[in-house]
Amino acid sequence: MKVNILIPFLLSLFAGLATVAGFAITFIARRTNKKLLAYSLGLSAGVMIYVSFVELFAESRELLATNLGQTPGLLSAVLCFFGGIAIIALIDRIVPSFGNPHEARSLENKNAGPTRRSKLMKMGAMTALAIGIHNFPEGIATFMAAVENQSLGIAIAGAIAIHNIPEGIAVSVPIFYATGNRKKAFLFTLLSGLAEPLGALLAFLILMPFLSPVVMGCVFGIVSGIMVYISLDELLPAAREWGEHHIAMYGLISGMAIMAMSLILFG
C-alpha cells in the first residue's frame, strides 16, 4: 500500500517541478523555440483530451453504473464531468490574475526600463499565485488517476509536466527582469509548481479515507471535466500563440495517437 501511495505522489511532484524547467530555459536558451513549444502544448492537450474521454469518463460511467444502476450511474458521471468543468471555470474566475496567467511569454520579451520593473514584478508574482492555484486540481488529478492505474497516472503526469514548462517561463521571466535576482525568480517558480504535490497530499488526506467505487467514479468524472477544460481553455489557445495553428494541431493529433497506443500496449 505504501508503494501505491508513494508513486502517485512522486508523479504529482514530477509534474509540478516541471515549472522549474521553464525557469532553466530562460537562462539556457537565447531564443524561444516557439514551434517546439506549440507542438508540445498541443501534444499535452491531445493526451489529456483523449485520456479524459476514452479512459477517465468511461471508467467513471462504468463504476457509477455498476454501483448505482445504469441510468443513475450515467447521469452521475455526466454531472461529475460538468461539475469538474464548473470547478476549474470558477477557479479561473476568482483567482487573482495579471492578464492571462497562461499567456505566452517569449524569452525575447524581456527588456524593461525602471518604470516597468514594478509592473513586471507584480505580474510575475500574481502569475505565480494564479498558476499555483490552478495546479491544485492538476495535482489531485494526477494522484487519483495514478492510485487507480499507474500507467494512466504516468501519462497524465507527463502531459501536465509539458504544459507546466511554459508556465515556469511565464513566472520566472517577468520576476527576473524586474529584480535581476535569479534566486527570487527560481523561488517563485518553484513555489507555483509545489502546489501540484500539495494538491496530491490534499487528495490523500481528504479523499483516501473515504475511497470506494462510487467515490472513485465521481473523482474520475470530475477529473475528466477539469482536464478537458484545461486543454480547451488554456493549452490549445497557448499553443496557437506560441506558433502556427497547424503545428498545434499536429501536436494534438500526435498526443492522441501516442495515448491510444500506450493504452493498447500497457492499458
The mean per-residue pLDDT over the stretch 172-199 comes to: 84
Lowest mean pLDDT among 95-104, 137-146, 164-173: 95-104
The mean per-residue pLDDT over the stretch 45-49 comes to: 87
Count of domains for the chain: 1
Per the model's pLDDT, the better-predicted residue between 45 and 242 turns out to be 45
Question: How is 45-68 classified by DSSP, letter by letter?
Answer: HHHHHHIIIIIIHHHHHHHHHHHH
Instruction: Give 30's DSSP letter.
Output: S
The mean per-residue pLDDT over the stretch 59-69 comes to: 94
Report the distance separating Cα 176 and Cα 24, nearest Å.
12
How many C-alpha atoms does 56 have within 13 Å on its Cβ side?
34
pLDDT at 2 over 50: no
- 69 confidence band (pLDDT: 50, 70, 90): very high
Lowest mean pLDDT among 71-75, 92-96, 172-176, 193-197: 92-96
pLDDT at 78 over 90: yes
C-alpha cell at 227: 482536464
C-alpha cell at 247: 503545428
Q: Are 44 and 192 in contact (CB under 8 A)?
A: no
pLDDT at 218 over 70: yes
pLDDT at 105 over 70: no
The mean per-residue pLDDT over the stretch 143-166 comes to: 83
**Over the range 185-212, which residues count as b (16 or more CB within 10 Å of their CB) and which as e?**
bbebbbebbbbbbbbbbbbbeebeeeee
Nearest to 199 by CA among 164, 162, 239, 238: 164
Q: Are 108 and 32 in contact (CB under 8 A)?
A: yes
Classified as helix, coil or strand, 130 is helix
**Predicted structure pTM score:** 0.73
Structure confidence at residue 258 (pLDDT): 84
Lowest mean pLDDT among 32-46, 66-80, 204-218, 224-238: 32-46
User: Quick one: 235 exposed, middle or buried, by C-beta within 10 A (0-12, 13-18, 19+)?
Assistant: buried
Helix (H) or strand (E) holding 142: helix 114-148
Q: What percent of the chain has pLDDT over 90?
A: 21
User: What's the pLDDT tens digit per position in 107-145?
Assistant: 555 454 445 566 667 766 776 777 777 778 888 888 888
Lowest mean pLDDT among 15-24, 72-81, 89-98, 100-109: 100-109
- Degrees to nearest 5, angle at CA 40 with 35 and 43: 125
Report the distance separating Cα 157 and Cα 113, nearest Å.
38
Q: Which domain holds residue 25?
A: 2-266
Report the distance separating Cα 6 and Cα 147, nearest Å.
9
Mean pLDDT for all residues in the chain: 80
- 179 confidence band (pLDDT: 50, 70, 90): confident
Per the model's pLDDT, the better-predicted residue between 131 and 147 turns out to be 147
Structure confidence at residue 99 (pLDDT): 47
Question: How is 143-165 classified by DSSP, letter by letter?
Answer: HHHHHH-HHHHHHHHHHHHHHHH
Structure confidence at residue 267 (pLDDT): 57
